[in-house]
Amino acid sequence: MGVFTRGLRLCAAVIALSAAGVAVAPHAALAQPAFRLQPPPPPLTKQYKTSIEHYEDMKAAAKGGTKMTWDKLPDWTGVWTHTSGFAVDPSMPRDKIADMLTPEYKARYLKKLEEVAKGNEWDPLSYCLPAGYPRWHLEPFLREQILRPEEAWLLTEQNAEIRRIYTDGRGHVPEDEAYPLWEGDSIGFWDGDTLVVHTNHLKEGMYQRMEPDHSDQVSTVERIRKINPTTIEVIMTIYDPVALVKPWHVRHVWTKVTDPPGLRINHWSCAENNNVVKTSEGGSDFVLPGEKGYKDPNALGPPAAGAAKP
């Protein structure tokens, strides 16, 4: 392989890993945010052993939550994007992250960084799998919120992932019926204009590329609030007794996208033009135009009737 071809392949792979699927969701490219260092969240005033204890205490403090009606719902309309960067904790220096992890997960994290330094990095997104939650928060592409008195839908353009937060008073799926899900099982209540959410029953995964892994015992408490016309703030506490030495309290920001006006979210069908492949070393490569298996992003969908199949 020539130097020029290797350079093209490396460049293409970086683009694909940074924004896999952009060709089938062109408007996502418009939402590349200007990431900025975020201040830490306000400290917790009380420590909790479990996320559900944390959530129930907040619900009790809110006297069961605000009885939400259509006229009381906050206005979260519009298209938004995540602008806190790719780190699970935008306020924490990278060299301190390992200190948050149990010995097993610290070793896994350091091994991941070692492999990345060798050029071996593989992201499950390159299989066209969902990011899943809580990584859902860290993806930079477009998102929308649909609010009803009894339910909130939080949508991201990437892989068309939808979180459903039930605010009608129901509890979680019973343990004997539950199983791990990409977005987990979320229940919530309104505390004035703040949506408080508890999420559990999640799959194991990673917070983000070059970030630690989490176990399938991870659960979270979120406080989501629109703090000004163009900013939604998320204060999230992550609990994972398997992977974390203590709860991880973090802050993320979504920023409203107003340019161009009338921007829409398109359905994301990653498999149609996914040209990322896994190498024998466990890294990432890219099928280039003209190579066997290349999927042309300008020729999506099934072949026209009578057309020769590749």
First to last CA, the chain: 25
pLDDT at residue 20, rounded to an integer: 41
Q: What is the DSSP letter of 244?
A: B
pLDDT category of residue 152 using cuts at 50, 70 and 90: very high
Q: Taking 50 as the threshold, does the pLDDT of residue 160 lie above it?
A: yes
Q: Taking 80 as the threshold, does the pLDDT of residue 61 lie above it?
A: yes
pLDDT at residue 31, rounded to an integer: 41
pLDDT at residue 287, rounded to an integer: 87
Structural contact between residues 46 and 214, judged by C-beta atoms closer than 8 angstroms: no
Taking alpha carbons only, the member of 38, 25, 31, 14 closest to residue 140 is: 31
pLDDT category of residue 72 using cuts at 50, 70 and 90: very high
pLDDT at residue 125, rounded to an integer: 86
pLDDT at residue 302, rounded to an integer: 61
Our measurement of the distance from residue 241's CA atom to the centroid of its chain's CA atoms, rounded to an integer in Å, reads 21
pLDDT at residue 136, rounded to an integer: 95
Domain ranges of the chain: 1-20+274-291, 33-256
For the stretch 146-153, contacts whose Cβ atoms lie closer than 8 Å and that sit 24 or more positions apart, written own/partner, are 147/73, 147/74, 147/76, 148/73, 149/68, 149/69, 149/70, 149/73, 150/68, 152/188, 152/195
* In the chain, % of residues over pLDDT 90: 57
* In the chain, % of residues over pLDDT 70: 84
- Dump pLDDT digits (tens) for 294-306: 888 887 666 555 4
pLDDT at residue 38, rounded to an integer: 66
What residues form DSSP beta bridges with 191? 194
pLDDT category of residue 7 using cuts at 50, 70 and 90: very low
pLDDT at residue 301, rounded to an integer: 63
For residue 163 the two structure tokens come to 């979180």
pLDDT at residue 303, rounded to an integer: 55
Please state which of the four CATH numbers 3.40.50.11930, 3.30.497.10, 2.40.128.20, 3.40.50.620 is assigned to the domain occupying 33-256: 2.40.128.20
- Dump pLDDT digits (tens) for 232-287: 999 999 999 999 999 999 999 999 999 888 888 888 888 888 888 888 877 888 88
Q: Taking 90 as the threshold, does the pLDDT of residue 102 lie above it?
A: yes
Task: Look over the chain and give the mean of its residue pLDDT values, rounded to a whole number.
Answer: 85
Identify the weakest region by mean pLDDT among 16-20, 42-46, 162-166, 201-205: 16-20
Taking alpha carbons only, the member of 131, 78, 120, 115 closest to residue 263 is: 78
Mean pLDDT to the nearest integer, 193-207: 97
